[in-house]
Amino acid sequence: METKKAIKLLHLASTIWFMVCTGYIFTLAMHQAGFNWFVIFSLSGHWALIIILLVSLYLFIIFRGTDPGLNMQAEHPLTSTPYYMMFYSLTPFLGAIAGILGILGETRIGTLLGGIALGTIGATFLTWVIIDPITGFFEVLTPGPKKQRSLRIASAMQQKRFEQETRKQKLDSLFEMERENERMWREEFMPQAQRLAMLLKCDVNDFSKAEQEAIRIGVEAWKKGGLICMRYLRNMAIEIFKKQYGEEMLIDYISGWWDGIGRWRNPALAVK
């Protein structure tokens, strides 16, 4: 555990060092291109912000991400070892040393710093972008890691099928429960549905009484099964009315009568 923590801290330091060298080369290139320092610092500020955000996200993954499990270690027997990860994290510093060795005898500070920065960037790019992906690719082609990868993929697919089957069973259970509730509501609320259908036929003089009775029926339905029960009862009443009086005679007073009961809202009065 201490080794993993040390490697992460080393990787943090090497990443910061790599970004410092990259910023130095960027600034030096712009200065040599003829840009004044005001423009360089202005552009550097924007790029520094973007780079800091990207590096922060990268370091969050490194420090907060889960450690490689046994399966990944079996698939990558070389690149998951502490020795390889130590070498991977040390690459920017090794590149800096190579840059110093490449300009031995140079006395100018600018040239020395440029050699260190270029050595860091070159070694880091070569190792992190080219060598490491190629090594990881060839690792999984060897018999042991290849078999382990196949087992992991098969296990993941099996787990996915199990989760899909579990979701399907839950949905089937919910649908069956809903159908059972509908059968129960049809038997229990058939008289109320018939009464609601008759109330839709009321005249102007009896409208207030019809509304009060419809509200009482709606409250009973809400207490019994909530909004779903109310909607089912309303649909039953509408169907009964259509069969008895015809669709052209239908005026849906129920939606207005029940407005405000529980979560029932009149669609005609809803805010669009």
Residue that wins the pLDDT comparison between 225 and 54: 225
Whole-structure pTM over 0.85, yes or no? no
b/e code 94-105 from CB counts within 10 Å (16+ = b) = bbbebbeeebee
DSSP letter at 86 equals: H
Here the tokens at position 237 are 């009443």
**Other C-beta atoms lying within 10 Å of the C-beta of residue 114:** 18
Tell me which amino acid residue 141 is: L
Residue reference for tokens 């202005």 = 42
Residue boundaries of the structural domains of the chain: 2-141, 174-267
Given a contact cutoff of 8 angstroms between Cβ atoms, the answer to whether 75 and 149 are in contact is yes
pLDDT of residue 44: 58
Cα 175 from Cα 253, distance rounded (Å): 30
Structure confidence at residue 217 as a pLDDT band (50, 70, 90): very high
Which percentage of the chain shows pLDDT scores above 90?
A: 13
Residue-wise pLDDT for 65-123, tens only, equals 445 555 567 777 788 888 888 898 899 999 999 988 888 777 788 888 888 988 998 99
Residue-wise pLDDT for 185-205, tens only, equals 778 888 899 999 999 888 878
pLDDT of residue 268: 61
Given a contact cutoff of 8 angstroms between Cβ atoms, the answer to whether 72 and 80 are in contact is yes
